[in-house]
Each structure stands twice: as C-alpha cells, then as structure tokens.
Structure 1
Amino acid sequence: MALLLVLSALCAIVIYHLFNGYRNLTRNIAIAKSSGLRVVVLPVYVNSVVWLATNIVWLPLLAKLPASCKGVWFDLLDPEWSYRLGYKPFRDLGTDVFVVASPSRISAFVADAEVVTQITTRRNDFPKPLHLYTRLNIYGRNVVATEGTEWRMHRKLTAPSFGEKNNELVFVESIHHARCLVRLWTGPDGCGEDTIKDPALDTMRFALYVISRAGFGVRVAWPHEEEEHGEVETTEAASMFGSQVPEGHKMNYREALGSLLENIMWTQMAPPEYLTKSPFKIHRTVGTAVIEWGNYMDELFDAKKEEIASGRSTDGMDLFGTLIRGSGILDEKTTDLERSDILGNAFVIMLAGHETTANVLHFSLLFLAMNTQSQKRMHEDIEKTLGTKNPSDWSYDDDFPRLFNGMPAAVMNETLRLLQPVINILKSTTAGRPQEFHMDGQQYTFPGDIDVSLSGGIHRNPKYWPAPPDYESTDGLPDIDHFRPERWLVDAKPTEAFEDIKYDDEDLRGPSGEDTSSHLFKPVKGSYIPFSDGYRSCIGRRFAQVEILAAFAVIFSQYSVELAVDEFATDEEIEKMPVGGKERKAVWQKARDRADHLLMKTMGSIITLQLRGTTIPIRLVKKGRERFLFE
C-alpha cells in the first residue's frame, strides 16, 4: 500500500509539472508572437543550469529522430549553436531577428547590425540579465554583474585603470612573457621543434602572468625562469611569486589562481568552506583555491592601501592602487564602497583579462598553422614592421600602431570574428517594459522580461561580410565560414578618425581606442561585436589588443607555428618525404582535418568558448626550417 501511495504521488507530481509546463509554454508562445517576429518553440530553456549540465546526454538521443521531425528548433537546442552554425538558423528562418519560446523563458536572438546598435545604445532599456551573472560574485559585487546606479558606481571605480597611459606597461610585460612562452616551447637554445601537446594551457599561463603584473604588480615567474635563474626575489617594482608556497598559504599564487579560473563552475555548488570538505578531490582543490586567492588579494590589498596612505607612488596600470584611490576607502566615513567591492572587481578583471586574451592567442596560432599562406604574409608584415630590432627595443608608441594597422591586427580581428570568446552577448528587457525597435524600416517589439542575445552569428552574416568577387569554395563552405584574415586588408585610405561613445557621464570613461584600425576594413557599425558595443563594451579592449599583438610580434618575428603530425607520422618518416611533396601534404592534411573536426565538434563554453576535453598539438620551428609550407 505504501509503495502504491508513493507511486501515485510521483505520478501526480509529474502530471502537475507537465500540465504547468504546457500552460506556461502556451502563454509564452502568445507573448512571443506579439513581437511581430518569427517564433521558434523549444521544449526547454537552453540557458537553464539543468540543460547546460545535461544537454550532452539529451542531444545525441534527440539526434536519432527522423530528419522530418527536426528543424531549426533542434539546431537551437545546442547552447553553442551561434558558433557551430553561425548565420544558418537566421538564413533558414528568413530573418535576422527571431524569438524563442520555451516553458520557462522567452529569448530573442539578433544578427542585424541596426538592431544591435539600437540595443547597445539604449543602456537603460536593455540591461543585463543579472540572474545569469551571479556566479561572478565570488569575492564581491563588480562591474560585470551589476546594473543601473550600482553599475555606474563600479564603472567609475574601474574605468581609470584602463587609460591609454597604462598600455606601455602592458606592451612591455607582454613582450617579456611572450619571450618566456617561446623559451618554454623551444628550450634554452631556441631550437625547439618539440610537440606542444596542450598549447591552450600555456597561453592561459601567458595571459594570467601579464594581467597579474600589469594589473596587480605581481610578477609571476615561469617554472623554467626559476630553473634558469633560481628562486625569485621581491623587488620594489612588483611583488614576485614563484613555485614556493609562502608562509601561511596552502597553494602558491599561480596554482591558486589557475585552479580557480579553470574550475570556476564548481564554485556555484557550495561555499568554498564546504567544497573543501567534499569527498571529491576537484571540489576540495577549487574550494582551497577560492580561499587561497582571496587571501593573496587581501594581502596585496593591505600592502597597497598602506603604500598609498604613506604617499608612495607605483608604476604602470596599478589596478589595486587606482581602485583604492578612486573608492575613497581610505576614509571610510566618506564612501559607501566596501572592501568586497574592490576585491570583486579585481577578480572579474583578472578573469576577463586572462581567459579571453588567452583564447585569442591560442586559436590564432591554430588558425595560422592551418592556413600557411596567411602565416607567410604575417611573417612578411612583421619583418617589414619591426626589421631586425631586438624585442627589448620595441616601442609601444612607435611599433604598436604599425602592428595594429597590418596583418597582425587582421589575424586578431579574423580570429575574433570566427571565435569570439562569448558567443552570445546577453541583454534583457525589464518585466512590464516591452521595447520597440526598428529593422529594415519596420517596427517590432521585444516583450518585457525576456533575454535578448546579440548573436555571434552576425559575424557570419553575408550582408556585412561579402566574399571577394573571384571567390570559389574548395570545400563547399561559404567564404564567411573560412579563416581569411586578408579580408581585413584593404587598399584604401584610412577611414574617418575614431569617435568614441558620447558618454552621458564623463567619469564613466569608455575603453580607449577603436575596435579595429581605421587602416583596415571597417565593418558596418554593430556587425562586429567581439568586445560588445556601446556603454557596456569591454573596458579592457585596448589592453587585450596590445597584449595579443605584442605576443604575435615576438613569436612570428623568429618562428613559424605548425600543426603537430605525431599521430600520423614520425619525425623520421617526415624527413624521408620530399619537401613540399604530396606525401608531406597528405600527412599535414590529416592533421588539419582533425583540427577542423575538433574545432567544430568539441568547443564549449563555461565562461568563454574553448576546446573541451581535447587538444590540438602544435610545434614552433625556426623560420626557414618549416616542414609544412605549401604554395
């Protein structure tokens, strides 16, 4: 009898949820149709935690449905569809803006530049959906996870840290750490030619160390630096951390921050003090990392606060110093800001400045290894720009603008076009406040209380990215789906001078510099949004551009990057094959096909879009010693 009662209760619960879900879906479909836009109906809300965690189970099962039962709705169940499919769903629906109705939420997706611009310039009408950003409040409220007057406070607090005057330090530090990265990959003698099995791990380290020094005054030593020069020492210019675990800590600095950033999703399960008691090692590790990095930040905060109070000055970006001075926290009676506000902003700046830049460098190297003619043009451009100057003599004022006007910037821009770190930039409408907008001369309405995604599919909308007149596809894919940095190189005079956003409050200050060089192809406003656009565009945009181009200059001034082919042939076998011959090309093509497959099928987002559960190995070889260069 008891079992019967339990089964009856379970059946009643299931029936109730099915009925409630159907009722909500019916209501949401009616609301979605009121927009005047095309509507797609989904059985689940794709951004829900449950679906994000379990879709890898359900999607393969749903894929077994007959083709006649599938369509755009099936495509949109993949959380990464904006990357994997690009513009295809918009093309299939015959519109650049559509609405998705599910039982729990309504969403809209936008791939029209005119509509993107309307959304990004109407900050109060299209706020962030903050319920999706709570995971970033680990150490405190911050500029990424706030809106309205609170956002303005955090924006004013953080903006001064990203002024143009700080980019010289970013340039110098990026050169230093890029040289360390190259030495890691090629050995002390610089000959290298060993397989780099996981380049993503090392580019993450590179970006982490640059933001640590430029943003926080922490010079993190690479393991091989310590081996070559012995234990690092603290200097007046920067605190320095190596592999040693300082007294009072359980992890060294780089281990704590690396473990935290690589496993940030686990921080949503429970507070760190509970994670440290989990039976699973990964939980204990990330719980300890959260506590340890917080302790490091507390120590750096206290040291910087004492430094400022005593009147001493510091060099460079000095993020903590700028945050403390701007907050007024030295006089607690005159400010509403708390210590957690500074630590919260420090964390999200570290997160954003580390992971996104690392991804761009990593995928640029892969794309260039897969497209040897573009890499050849990169070599030629950097040689023309920098000549034989030693990297220690490169200048931000003289050399960065030339890198930004040529092939290095074209490669960066093209990588961001195809593989922007955040594939859907999320906005929303407020409950009870539907928002009208115009598209192609017609008026439409986004209902209140919906998510509005600025889709990465806009980067592959042929309306904004035309193919060259003589383009012929060799693999059946359109030009917009190919990595072709040459699309950014135009034989024309520079376009009009850059005009920054006209901020309604000068203290908010936007990120310095334009998205793309005026000497390169200038996309239609709103059609190129790797850094978002408008008031909430990426505050660290120029920081990232300087860092990436400095790394390109170091690497490609002396080296070429190639796909490793160890899986298909040994070094001895390759040496016996004629240079430039069919046999070598066949081996290389196998590695390229594998890379293409992994880049399409294994990419996934946690914070940013990355390869998940696999790697694409590469090699760095001295220029002139390439094994796989084909005309």
Structure 2
Amino acid sequence: MVATLVFSVIASFAIYQIISKYRGLQRNIALAKSSGLPVVVAPWYTFSILWLSTFKLWLPLLERFLPQSWRGMWFDLLNPEWSYMTGHGPFEKMGMDVFMVASPTRNVVFVADAEAVTQITTRRNDFPKPLEMYTSLDIYGKNLVSTEGSDWRTHRKLVAPSFGDKNNQLVFNETLHHAKSMLGLWAGSDGNGNETIADPSVAAMNFALYVISGAGFDVRVVWPHEEGKKVEDKKSEDSIFVGSEAPPGYTMSYRAALSQLLHNIMWTQVMPLKWLARSPVKMHREVSDAAHEWGKYMDEIYEMKKTQVEFGETQANMDIFDSLIRGSGITKKEGSNFTKSDLLGNAFVLMLAGHETTANTLHFSMVFLAMNWGSQKRLQDDIDNIFAGKPIDEWKYEEHFQKLFGSMPAAVMNETLRLLQPIINIPKSTPPGRPQPLNIGGKQYMVPGDAHVFLSAAIHRNPKYWPTPSDDSSKDDLDQFRPERWLADSKPDNDFVDINYDDEGLRGPAGEDTSSDLFKPVKGSYIPFSDGFRSCIGRRFAQVEILAVLAAIFSQYSVELAVDDFACDEEVEKMPKGGKERRDLYKMATDRAQDLIQTKMASIITLQLRGVSIPIRLMKRGEERFAFDV
C-alpha cells in the first residue's frame, strides 16, 4: 500500500515535470519565432549548472547511441564550448550572425554580429548583465561585477580613478621585476635556459598573481625559488614583503592563501563558503580556509592604508587599494557613501579578473610563438628596435609602452586574445517582460524578455571583419595564429569609431583595445575585454602587463616547444641543424600542441587547457635548436 502510494507520487511528479517542460518549450519556441531571428530548438538549457557540470559524461553517450537522423543543429550546440571549438561555422549554417536557441527553461541569443554587439553593449539598461550568474562573487562584499543600474554606476565611479597612468607605471615596473624572477625560475641559475618547463601555465599564473598583488595592494610577493636570496628591489620602504611564512595569527601565508583561493575559485561558484567549510572533500575545506585567511590579510592591509590616509601620508606607489580608499572618502569626518565591504569586494574581483586572463594570454602567446618561428623572429626584431639594447632596469613605461602597443608585441597579444578569448560567451540578458529591438542590416528584430544574450567569441573568426590572405590558403586563416594580420595596411570600410558615452567617467581610463598604428577592427567585432559601458575597466592594466612581460622574455630568449617525449637531448644534438630530422621531430611537437589546444580547452571561469600541458624551453637567443627559417 505504502509502496504503491510512493510510486504514484513519484510518477505524478515525473508526469508533471514532463508536461511543465513541454509547455515551457512550446512557449519559448513561440517567443523565439516571434523575434524574427533564426531559431534552433534544444531539449534542454545547455548553460544550466547541471549540464555544465555533467555534459562531458553525457556527450560521448549521445554521440554513440543517438541515431544520426535524430540529430540536428541543436546537437552541434550541446557542448557549451562550441563557439571556441567550431568558430563561426554554426552561424554560417544558420545563415545569420545572430540566432536564438529555444529550450524548455530559457531562450538564448548568440551574437557574432558587430552591429548587434555595439547596440547591446551601449544600451546597458536594455541588456543588463544576468546578475544571478555573479552573486557568488560577493565573497567580501558587493562590487563592480555583481551590481547593475545605479549601484553599478556607484561602484564604477569608485573604481575608475584607480586605473590611471600612475598605476600603469606601477604595473610596468612590477611586471619587469616579476618577469626577471620568472625567467630566473625557467632559465636556471646560470640563465642559459635549455631546461624543459613541464607546465608553463603554473608559473604564468603565479606571475600574474604576484604582479596584481603588487600593483593592487603594494604587496611584493617573493618567489619560492628566491626566498633567502638577496634580490635587488626598488619598492618603497612602506611596501609589504611576503614569502612562505605565515605571520602570527594566521594559519596560511599570504602567498599560499591567495594562490589557493584564486587557483581554485571555481569551488566558490558551485557552493557557498559555509558549505565548503563543512564539506568532506579536503580541497573544499582548503578553499574555504584560504578565503577566510586572505580576508584577514585584506582587513589588515585595509586598516594600515586607511591609517596612512587619515594621517595624510602620501603614497609613492599608486596601488589600486590605496586609490580606492582615498577616492571613497571613507576616512573623512563627514562620512562616505561607501562601506569597508565595498572596498574589499571590489579589491577582490579586480584581483580575480586580473590574474587568470593575463596568465592565459602570456602562456598561449609563448606556445603560439613557439609554433610560428617567423612571427617570433619578427617580434624579437621589433623589441630590439624599441629598446636598442637597453637593460631591463632602464626600461620606462612613459618611454616604451606606446612603442610596444603599436608594434609586433601588441599584434601578438591581440592575436592571442582573438583566438583564445578568456570568456567565450560574454553574458547579457533582457529584462523580464521587456522585449528589446535589435536593428541588424537595416531590419528590426525583437529579442524576447527574460532571455540570455551571449556575445560569442565566434565573432573573432567571422570572415566579414578580418583581413585574410588573398590566396587559396585563406579559407582556414582565421583559425590560425597570424599576428601579422594586425600589421595589415588595409583598413575595413567601417573603420573603428569609439562610441560617445553619456558619462565618460563610467568607462574610466581603460583605453582602446588596439593601437591606431595597427589594424582597427570594426567596432563591436573585437571583444576580448567586452565592449561599451561594461567593458573591462582593467584592460590597460592587462595590456601593460602582457606587453612588458613579452618584451622581457623575448629580448633575451627564444621559446621552443619541448620535444622530450619524442627524443632526448643527445639524439637532438646528433641531428643536423635545420635538417629534415629536426624538422620532422619538431613537427611532432607542433602537431601535439595544436591538437591539445583544439581538443583539451575548457572554461571554468576562463578558457584554458584542462588536465594537460604543453611543455616548452627557453633558449638563449642565437642558441635555438629548432629556429627554422620561414
């Protein structure tokens, strides 16, 4: 009797869910079709937490057992990474650079059209961020990323002044300091290199963390391999220096807490910190501990800097946290509109946003250049011309950054970001009950309310916007790393024109995506930092850091793919330089690297290699083993 009752309840619930999902799907299909956009019907919402966390289990089963006749365009879109894996192909199949996917729970719009991107990013009230995706970032307080409307304007005006030329100068200097430390780790104690770096992404992540720690908090992190050594330093006497020792009152060092939290931040997006603290999984508890410990460090730094501001002390190094405190007015007797949690919340998300993206760009720039010797040589030539033999200690932000930004180093950075945009689907939305018009190619379309709108990285491989060679090889050119496209003399018909903001202060001193000396993509077609009002406020911070570290590395070294898995050093030495044996050997390493970049990339927060690595070697310039003429 009881079993029958339980079965009836379960069956009734299942039937209710099926009917509810079916009705939801029919409703969403009707809304999607009313938009006038091409529509794909999908059986479920592929950006739900459940599907994102399990699709790698289900896709192989569906590919194996689902009959070919049952598959359609929806099947091609089941992998949330499709815009990276297949590029512009799905838009070509749909016959338009904007299309909708209707599912039982949500309508989604994918956008790879520059005209549509510009409208969406400039109409921030009509296409707000879906804030439900960002509430988990409020670990230490509300912030620029997790707010909208008037709250966002308030946070933007608080944060924007932090990203000026004084901070860029500090970023440049911090980058060069930590670049020398990273080179010391990679090239060995004698600096000669020729040692295999099994996973360069690890040091790249630490490098980016340490740079933003210095430029963000005026905390100089000592690299593990330099602890106990005397390292020449030009930071001010007020700067904080930290290593592997946890100070009294702490269970983790600053370096360990910061690394543990940011390298495993994905767990804070899955469940609240209080749940992580009680989890039976050790990693979950460690992340919770790291969040607690780094919160204590931020509190301590905040109180120290607040006291300095109250006593009128000037700051030699204009770090972000100092600027936030001074700009907030929180130390003034008449009070402030900001709270301590506002400052801590923004400091945290700036730290989070500034480390993975920069680290990934550095990592993949080196890998791409190792696979493209002609581009690497051209990069080195430009760096040599810019610095004219000056040692790194004599490099100056005000003298050298603009030259880097208008030449091959920037072309390498831009091309890496074109191919490997950190966030491959930049999320926007339409408010519930408020359909929004989009004018595309002279025709108006109506996006239904309560839809998710994704600005797709596939726009970076839309042939409509990018210069390609005129020969037969141009077909797959946009899938290839070719930084020389940014040095092209030709300009698009619809040249880049920056939008007029109704409040320029909201954007802050972020600067342009690319120099006027390089190819200027059509407005809205190049979005590694997003675009419009909610574009990345730290873009210039990232650009300064990436260009400075590329210059530091390639002024002294060349980067090769490691071939250890195919031949030992003794075997390589026996092969004639520039001969077929070495070329065939290096091709094996190149083919493997290309395969891993194509098949082993995945997004948790940003797009990066997962579970595999591409080993490299730094070689003193002139001592390369595989520098083939191209």
TM-score normalized by structure 1? Answer: 0.96
Shift of 1:127: 0.6
| Runs of 4+, deviation exceeding 4 Å | 230-235, 492-501
| Distance in 1 separating the partners of 2:250 and 2:38 | 56
Shift of 1:3: 3.1
Superposed counterparts of 1:84-483, under 5 Å: 84-229=85-230, 236-331=237-332, 334-472=335-473, 478-483=476-481
Instruction: Tell me the equivalent position of 1:5.
Output: 5
Shift of 1:131: 0.8
Structure 1 contact 164–512 (Cα < 8 Å) conserved:
no
Structure 1 contact 391–554 (Cα < 8 Å) conserved:
yes
| Distance in 1 separating the partners of 2:512 and 2:472 | 29
| Distance in 1 separating the partners of 2:445 and 2:159 | 36
AA matched with 1:537: S
User: Could you say what secondary structure the match of 1:86 adopts?
Assistant: coil
Instruction: Tell me the equivalent position of 1:23.
Output: 23
| Distance in 2 separating the partners of 1:398 and 1:158 | 26
Structure 1 contact 498–514 (Cα < 8 Å) conserved:
no
Shift of 1:511: 3.3
The answer to whether 1:590 aligns with 2:591 is no
| Distance in 2 separating the partners of 1:552 and 1:362 | 10
Are residues 311 and 415 of structure 1, via their aligned partners in 2, closer, same or farther at CA, if it must alter by over 3 Å?
Answer: same
Are residues 471 and 236 of structure 1, via their aligned partners in 2, closer, same or farther at CA, if it must alter by over 3 Å?
Answer: farther
Shift of 1:336: 3.4
Structure 2 contact 465–522 (Cα < 8 Å) conserved:
yes
User: Could you say what secondary structure the match of 1:630 adopts?
Assistant: coil
Shift of 1:537: 0.9
Structure 2 contact 467–488 (Cα < 8 Å) conserved:
no
The answer to whether 1:559 aligns with 2:560 is no
Could you tell which deviates more after superposition, 457-466 or 4-13? 4-13
Could you tell which deviates more after superposition, 249-258 or 267-276? 267-276
User: Could you say what secondary structure the match of 2:108 adopts?
Assistant: strand
Are residues 387 and 234 of structure 1, via their aligned partners in 2, closer, same or farther at CA, if it must alter by over 3 Å?
Answer: closer
Shift of 1:47: 1.4
User: Could you say what secondary structure the match of 1:193 adopts?
Assistant: strand
Shift of 1:630: 2.0
User: Could you say what secondary structure the match of 1:63 adopts?
Assistant: helix
Shift of 1:497: 12
What are the superposed Cα offsets for residues 607-631 of structure 1, whole Å, 9 maximum, x if unpaired?
1111111111111111111111223
Instruction: Tell me the equivalent position of 1:70.
Output: 71
Could you tell which deviates more after superposition, 8-17 or 431-440? 8-17
AA matched with 2:13: I
Are residues 7 and 587 of structure 1, via their aligned partners in 2, closer, same or farther at CA, if it must alter by over 3 Å?
Answer: farther
Instruction: Tell me the equivalent position of 2:527.
Output: 529
| Distance in 1 separating the partners of 2:540 and 2:445 | 35
AA matched with 1:337: F
Instruction: Tell me the equivalent position of 1:518.
Output: 516
AA matched with 1:239: I
| Distance in 1 separating the partners of 2:580 and 2:613 | 26
| Distance in 2 separating the partners of 1:271 and 1:433 | 32
Could you tell which deviates more after superposition, 1-10 or 439-448? 1-10
| Distance in 2 separating the partners of 1:600 and 1:577 | 30
AA matched with 2:484: E
User: Could you say what secondary structure the match of 1:547 adopts?
Assistant: helix
User: Could you say what secondary structure the match of 1:53 adopts?
Assistant: helix
Could you tell which deviates more after superposition, 29-38 or 322-331? 322-331
Question: Which 5+ residue runs of structure 2 have no aligned equivalent?
Answer: none
| Distance in 2 separating the partners of 1:327 and 1:496 | 41
Shift of 1:316: 3.0
Could you tell which deviates more after superposition, 458-467 or 222-231? 222-231
Could you tell which deviates more after superposition, 106-115 or 327-336? 327-336
Shift of 1:425: 1.0
Structure 1 contact 197–618 (Cα < 8 Å) conserved:
yes
Are residues 525 and 506 of structure 1, via their aligned partners in 2, closer, same or farther at CA, if it must alter by over 3 Å?
Answer: closer
AA matched with 2:488: V
Shift of 1:326: 2.0
| Distance in 2 separating the partners of 1:456 and 1:242 | 39
Shift of 1:143: 0.3
Structure 2 contact 175–548 (Cα < 8 Å) conserved:
yes
Shift of 1:234: 9.9
Instruction: Tell me the equivalent position of 1:51.
Output: 51
Are residues 339 and 20 of structure 1, via their aligned partners in 2, closer, same or farther at CA, if it must alter by over 3 Å?
Answer: same
Number of aligned residue pairs: 628
AA matched with 1:485: P
Shift of 1:470: 2.6
Are residues 269 and 108 of structure 1, via their aligned partners in 2, closer, same or farther at CA, if it must alter by over 3 Å?
Answer: closer
What are the superposed Cα offsets for residues 203-239 of structure 1, whole Å, 9 maximum, x if unpaired?
1111111111111110001112214228999962411
Could you tell which deviates more after superposition, 321-330 or 401-410? 321-330
Are residues 364 and 74 of structure 1, via their aligned partners in 2, closer, same or farther at CA, if it must alter by over 3 Å?
Answer: same
Are residues 333 and 606 of structure 1, via their aligned partners in 2, closer, same or farther at CA, if it must alter by over 3 Å?
Answer: farther
| Distance in 2 separating the partners of 1:257 and 1:217 | 14
Shift of 1:123: 1.4
AA matched with 1:173: E
User: Could you say what secondary structure the match of 2:529 adopts?
Assistant: coil
Could you tell which deviates more after superposition, 69-78 or 158-167? 69-78
Structure 1 contact 495–519 (Cα < 8 Å) conserved:
no
RMSD of Structure 2 on Structure 1 (CA): 2.1
Question: Which 5+ residue runs of structure 1 have no aligned equivalent?
Answer: none
Instruction: Tell me the equivalent position of 2:538.
Output: 540
Structure 1 contact 139–344 (Cα < 8 Å) conserved:
yes
TM-score normalized by structure 2? Answer: 0.96
Structure 1 contact 272–291 (Cα < 8 Å) conserved:
no
Instruction: Tell me the equivalent position of 1:607.
Output: 605
Instruction: Tell me the equivalent position of 2:35.
Output: 35
Structure 1 contact 493–519 (Cα < 8 Å) conserved:
no
Structure 1 contact 186–194 (Cα < 8 Å) conserved:
yes
What are the superposed Cα offsets for residues 539-559 of structure 1, whole Å, 9 maximum, x if unpaired?
001111110000011000010
| Distance in 1 separating the partners of 2:492 and 2:467 | 20
User: Could you say what secondary structure the match of 2:109 adopts?
Assistant: strand
| Distance in 2 separating the partners of 1:68 and 1:585 | 44
Structure 1 contact 173–210 (Cα < 8 Å) conserved:
yes
Structure 1 contact 111–456 (Cα < 8 Å) conserved:
yes
What are the superposed Cα offsets for residues 219-269 of structure 1, whole Å, 9 maximum, x if unpaired?
001112214228999962411111111111111111111111111121245
What are the superposed Cα offsets for residues 590-620 of structure 1, whole Å, 9 maximum, x if unpaired?
1111111111111111111111111111111
Q: Using the aligned pairs only, state the percent identity.
A: 61
